[in-house]
Amino acid sequence: MKITAVKTAATVGHGMHLWVKVETDEGITGIGECVHGGVQAIALIQQLQAKLVGRDPFQIDAIFEQLRRQNVFNGGFAGALITALTGIELALWDVKGKALGVPIYELMGGKFRDEIKVYADCQVEPGMDFDDIKRVLDDMLARGFTAFKIDLDIFAYGHSGSEVEGFRKDRFNYTAGPWEHERMVRLAEMARELAGKEIDFAADVHTRLDVPSAIRLAKDLEPFHLMWLEEPVPPENVDAMREVKQSTTTPICAGENLYLRHGFRDLIESQAVDIIMPDIPKCGGLSECRKIAHMAEIYYMPFAPHNVSSPIGTMASAHVCATVPNFLALEFHWLERDYWSTIITDKEDIIKNGFIKLPDRPGLGIELDETVGREYQYPGTTWFE
């Protein structure tokens, strides 16, 4: 079998959802997805196609590493190039599984679990009062989720860019003043009150605090027994993250902005966090993220992947989550997306009662409905050409 073409299509989603299709001379086609690479990743995939045509699609790790090393001076450590390679890698796994007639998880050593626990990222916005937040969380709980996450930070001026009433802050300063700090603590308290003690609950501040603000927040959140506090400080400084972690009993989680196992090495080896959260369709793909999970498992560190993908990337992530012992929970970021269940050919939600049951069909186990996808095509992009 040989690769004959590599094509892309993109839809509007969490920024852009970029799908990669790998075609072969035996008529088997694989689908992959990558996120946060933007139009740069599209251009890179188009450029890489010449080096992929004629290759054996079964040689997944060798293809990934060869292309990465050949482009070491063009971003072969992080960023859009790694994301582009990730989309290709996911599609190659789908091809291989289909060709051999087995699910991807079987090619990775088999399953530790049949179902993947999913946590819902709830859209709690700045300015919401208790009743607004209650409606969001009640809807999430009614759908059967047993774990969720909310955003505590205010994004300086709100998601829309407009100023939040009563909130004054320099856009670039990481210090949380009294008003912001108390609001974050109260929001976490409200969420715990609404969800009760039996529901897992995480909180995200999107790297927007300095060390003293992060330590103060983490300590004040201890009574609420969070599943984790996510990325309390910027990711560039592992020592700063470790200082926060060592100051509190609130578990600290980070990693969505890192790439490859090399990017996670210092975070894991220095035990600067309690939980790691690589974004599988962004930071290196299925094989690479299994290696990252295994590195963390040596330190008894849970693996809870970040995920803003469509059902394609989400299911690909679920295959990895099934094959590593230290999996904790997988993110779901689409509570209010119109096409979550219609964009795949099965026309049903892959998440039921807060869990993904892995399919026993070959490859990824689900297929993209291109007709539906094209209705949401990202402006200025081509569609599998």
* 124-144 residue pLDDT tens: 776 677 788 888 888 899 999
**Distance (Å, rounded) from C-alpha 20 to C-alpha 85?**
10
Which two three-digit tokens encode residue 150? 């909310």
Which two three-digit tokens encode residue 290? 């299994």
Catalytic residues: 206, 306
Using alpha carbons only, what angle is made at residue 203 by residues 197 and 207, rounded to the nearest 5 degrees?
Answer: 165
All CATH 3.20.20.120 domain ranges of the chain, comma separated, are 106-357
All CATH 3.30.390.10 domain ranges of the chain, comma separated, are 3-102+370-374
H/E/C letters for each residue in 327-379? Answer: ECCEEECCCCCCCCCCCECCCCCCEECCEEECCCCCECCCCECHHHHHCCECC
Which two three-digit tokens encode residue 100? 């051999």
Reported residue count of the chain is 385
SS3 call for 189: helix
**Distance (Å, rounded) from C-alpha 162 to C-alpha 131?**
22
CATH architecture under which domain 3-102+370-374 falls: 2-Layer Sandwich (3.30)
Contact 292, 267 (CB under 8 A): no
Q: What b-and-e string marks burial along 353-379, b requiring 16 or more CB atoms within 10 Å of the CB?
A: ebbbebbeebbbbbbbbeebbeebebe
* Interacting residues of 174 by C-beta distance below 8 A, sequence separation 6+: 208, 209, 210, 213, 233, 234
With residue 20 as reference, give the H or E element that holds it.
strand 15-24
Contact 272, 240 (CB under 8 A): no
From the list 150, 159, 156, the residue with the least C-alpha distance to 132 is 150
Domain 106-357 has CATH 3.20.20.120: yes
Name residues of the chain where pLDDT drops below 70.
126-127, 155-168
> What is the predicted pLDDT for the residue at 168?
66
**Distance (Å, rounded) from C-alpha 78 to C-alpha 74?**
10
Count of CB atoms situated within 10 Å of the CB of 105: 24
From the list 57, 119, 89, 77, the residue with the least C-alpha distance to 277 is 119
**Distance (Å, rounded) from C-alpha 9 to C-alpha 20?**
7
> What is the predicted pLDDT for the residue at 159?
46
**Distance (Å, rounded) from C-alpha 26 to C-alpha 365?**
19
Contact 49, 87 (CB under 8 A): no
Phi/psi at 31 (5° precision): -120, 135
Q: What is the dihedral of CA 283, 288, 289, 295, to 10 degrees?
A: -120
> What is the predicted pLDDT for the residue at 157?
42
